[in-house]
Amino acid sequence: MLKLQQRVQGVITAIDAHGRGILPYGKERIFVPAALPDEQVEVTIVKMIKEGYIGAITRLTHPSQDRVEPPCPHAHSCGGCQLMHMAPAAQLRWKQQRIIAAAKKEKLSLRIHDVVPSPAAACRNKVIASFGKDRNGMITAGLYEESSHRIVAIDRCLLHPASCDAIIQTIRTLMKELRIEPFDVRKRQGFLRHVQLRWGVRSGEILVTLVASESRFPARKRFVQALLQAHPAIRSIVLNVNRRDTSIVLGSEEHILYGSGWICDELLGRQFHISSSSFYQINHDQCERLYQKAYDLLELKKSDRLLDAYCGIGTIGLCAASQVKEVIGVELNAQAIADARINAKRNKITNARFICEDASRFLLAAANQHQRYDAVLLDPPREGSTPMFLDACARLQPARIAYISCNPLTQLRDLKILAQYGYVCDELFLYDMFPMSTHTESVALLKKGGQRTTKVRRGSVARTQKDRGAHEKRYRHGK
Ligand code: SAH
C-alpha cells in the first residue's frame, strides 16, 4: 500500500482512457497525468482513487520521443486537453491503436484505418466558460479543474478563435462593472453559472447563452447593450436558467434577451439554424469530411428511403436529401427537431420528415409495422445505441447501415451485435474531431450478407415497453 507524498520510480507502460500514463507498482496501478509510454519517471503520490493512485511527475529521467512542449500554458491544470504533451502524429497513432486493441478484445476482425487528422487546430465552434472568484475576490473565467469546484482561469484557449476569448473577457469585465455575481456551487449563491458561445464557422454569426441560477436579471439592458457594442458579430443573446444542483450546463428554461435565439451556419452547402441547446457538430470542417464519407459508403440511390436516426438538427439527412427519395429523421430533443423542421424549409427540402421520439421506440414500431428503409444512418450519443434499436433495425432489413459514432468503443460493441444479425462490417474509418483530447469519431458501413449466428435468439431482445427498462439498464452496464 502506498502513502500520500510517497515517491515511486518506474516506467510508464500505457495510457489509459483519460490520457494518463499507467505506472504499475506491484499489483497496484499509479495513474500519471502528462506521462507517455516508455518514459522513465519518478512520481509523488498525490491522491488515492478507486482504481489505484494518482501520481504527479517529480522527475522525468527518460522522456519519450513523442513528448512535445504543450503549446498552452494551462495544459496541465485545465484538464481539457489530456494529450497536449504528445506530438500530434503520436496522438493519432495512439487513438488508432486504442481502437485496434478494443476491436481485438471484442474479437471483431475489421480493418481500422489511420485516423484522418483535423483540418485545423483551432477547430471548435462551441465554448463553455464557467465563472468564479479567486482568493482576492476577483472574478475569474475558465474551466472547472477536474473533480473540483475550483476554476482554472483561462484568458486564451487554443481550441477556438481568439474572438471567443475576447467575448468571455468582456463578460467578466461587465460582471464587475454591473455587480453581477458569479454562481458559487458550494454556497448555492450568485447569478452567472456559465456562458456558452456558439459561432457559425462559415457565417461568422455568434450566439451567446448566459446560464444563470434565476430568471431575474436586473442589469440585463445595460449588459446586452455593452456586450453588443463591444462585439458586433453577436447575433443573439439568450438567458438560460439552470436552478438545479447539477454539472449539466444548460437548464430547460430560456429567455431571449436579444435577436432570434439562434444563429445560422452553412454545412456542405446547406444552411442550418442552430439554437443553444441543440446538438451541432463541434469541428465544422472535419464534420463535412465525416458526413461525406458516410454518404460515399452508403452509395445512396434516388430510390432510397433513408432513416437518419439520432438526427439532431437534421444535418446528416438534409445534406443527403437530394440524393434519395425520402429522409425520415428521428431524435429525442424537441428543440433539435424544431430546428430540423426549420432547416428543411430553409433549404427548400420537401422530401424530409422529422419525428421527435426515442429512436429505439420509433424503430421498434417501424419494425412491427413492416416499414421499408433502404438505408439507415445512425449517429447515437456516447453510450451507443440500444439492443432494442439494433434488433428492430435488423428486422427492418435495410440493405446498408452507416454507423457514425463519437465513441468507437460502444460502436464496436454494437457492431458485434449487428454482426450476429448478419450485418457485415469490414472497415472502420477514424476522424480526429477533437485534437488534443482522448476522443475519436468513427464511421462504419454494414451490409446485409453474413450469416445470422445462433448467438442471438429471437425474443432475446426486449420487445415490450415493460421489459425495456431492465434490459436497457443491464446492457448499459455491459452485462
Ligand atoms: N446526427 C446529429 C446528432 C448526433 S449527436 C449530428 O450529426 O449533428 C446524438 C443525438 O442523439 C443528439 O442530438 C441527442 O439529442 C440524440 N439522442 C440522444 N438519445 C436519444 C434517443 N434515445 N433517441 C433519439 N435521439 C437521441
Residue 461 reports pLDDT greater than 50: no
Tell me, using a 6 A CB cutoff, whether residue 329 lines ligand 1: no
The residues assigned a catalytic role are 406
Say how many Å lie between the CA of residue 384 and the centre of ligand 1.
Answer: 10
Task: Tell me if 311 CB under 6 Å of ligand 1.
Answer: yes
Q: Which one is the CATH code of 126-267: 3.40.50.1980, 2.40.50.1070, 1.20.120.720, 3.30.990.10?
A: 2.40.50.1070
Find the mean pLDDT for residues 362-368. 97
The candidate with the shortest Cα–Cα distance to 271, out of 205, 210, 209, 194, is 205
Q: What is the mean pLDDT of residues 237-247?
A: 92
User: Ligand 1 test: best mutation among 265, 277, 316, 331, most atoms within 8 Å of CB?
Assistant: 331
| Rounded CA separation 342/228 (Å) | 26
Spatial distance between the Cα atoms of 16 and 425, rounded to a whole number of angstroms: 27
CATH fold, domain 7-67, is OB fold (Dihydrolipoamide Acetyltransferase, E2P) (2.40.50)
Between residues 79 and 232, the one the model is more confident about = 232
Ligand 1 center to residue 30 CA distance, Å? 36
Distance 177 CA to ligand 1 centre (A): 40
Instruction: Give CA angle at 103 (81, 116), nearest 5°.
Output: 50
331 is in an annotated binding site: yes
* Cβ(358) – ligand 1 distance below 6 Å: yes
How many beta carbons lie within 10 A of that of residue 215, not counting itself? 13
Under 8 Å between Cβ of 152 and 75: no
Q: Is 333 in the pocket of ligand 1 (CB under 6 A)?
A: yes
The secondary structure of 185-251, three-state, reads CCCCECCEEEEEEEECCCCCCEEEEEEECCCCCCCHHHHHHHHHHHCCCEEEEEEEECCCCCCCCCC
**Residue whose CA lies nearest to ligand 1 atom number 1:** 311
Tell me the sheet residues that pair with 30: 23, 53
- Report in angstroms the alpha-carbon separations of 344 from 88, 309, 327: 38, 16, 11
Cα 379 to ligand 1 centre (Å): 7
Nearest to 443 by CA among 317, 295, 319: 295
Q: What is the pLDDT of residue 453?
A: 59
The rounded Å distance from CA 172 to ligand 1 centre is 33
Q: Which H or E element spans position 78?
A: helix 75-78
Give the separation between CA 362 and CA 397, rounded to whole angstroms: 15
pLDDT averaged over the chain? Answer: 92
Q: What is the pLDDT of residue 186?
A: 86
- Ligand 1 atom 10 nearest Cα: 310
Tell the residue nearest (CA) to atom 6 of ligand 1.
312
Q: Does ligand 1 lie within 6 Å of residue 362's CB atom?
A: no
Per-residue cell: 428? 472502420
Would 7-67 and 126-267 be classified into the same CATH topology?
yes
pLDDT number for residue 437: 94
Instruction: Locate the ligand 1 atom nearest the alpha carbon of residue 333 and give its number.
Output: 15
pLDDT band per the 50, 70, 90 thresholds, residue 444: very high
- pLDDT for 257 beyond 60: yes
- pLDDT at position 466 is 45
Ligand 1 atom with the smallest distance to the CA of 380 is 9
Q: Which of the listed residues 250, 275, 279, 355 should we mutate to test ligand 1's pocket, taking the one with most ligand atoms within 8 A of CB?
A: 279
Q: Is the CB of 339 under 6 A from ligand 1?
A: no
CA of 111 to the centre of ligand 1 (A): 27
**Residue 423 Cα to chain centre, angstroms:** 27
Q: Is 332 in the pocket of ligand 1 (CB under 6 A)?
A: yes
pLDDT category, 473, cuts 50, 70, 90?
very low
Alpha-carbon distances, residue 104 vs 94, 107, 109, 110, 368 (angstroms): 15, 5, 7, 9, 35
Domain limits, the chain:
7-67, 126-267, 283-476
User: Which of 274, 332, 362, 378 to mutate for ligand 1's pocket (most ligand atoms within 8 Å of CB)?
Assistant: 332
**Rounded average pLDDT over 291-295:** 98
Which ligand 1 atom is the nearest neighbour of the CA of 279?
Answer: 13
Q: Is 379 in the pocket of ligand 1 (CB under 6 A)?
A: yes
- Over residues 47-74, mean pLDDT: 95
> What pLDDT score was predicted for residue 143?
85
Task: Give 70-121 pLDDT, tens digit per residue.
Answer: 999 888 888 789 999 999 999 999 999 999 999 999 999 999 999 999 998 8
For helices 408-420 and 387-396, give the axis angle rounded to 10 degrees. 50
Tell me whether residue 25 is annotated as binding.
Answer: no
Ligand 1 contact, 472 CB (< 6 A)? no
Whole-angstrom distance, CA of residue 258 vs CA of residue 207: 10
Give the integer Cα–Cα distance in Å for 73 and 82.
13
Class of domain 283-476: alpha beta
| pLDDT tier, 144 (very low <50, low <70, confident <90, very high otherwise) | confident
308 CA closest ligand 1 atom index:
1
Distance (Å) from CA 192 to ligand 1 centroid: 28
The pTM of the full predicted model, rounded to 2 decimals, is: 0.90
Q: Establish whether 310 is an annotated binding residue.
A: yes
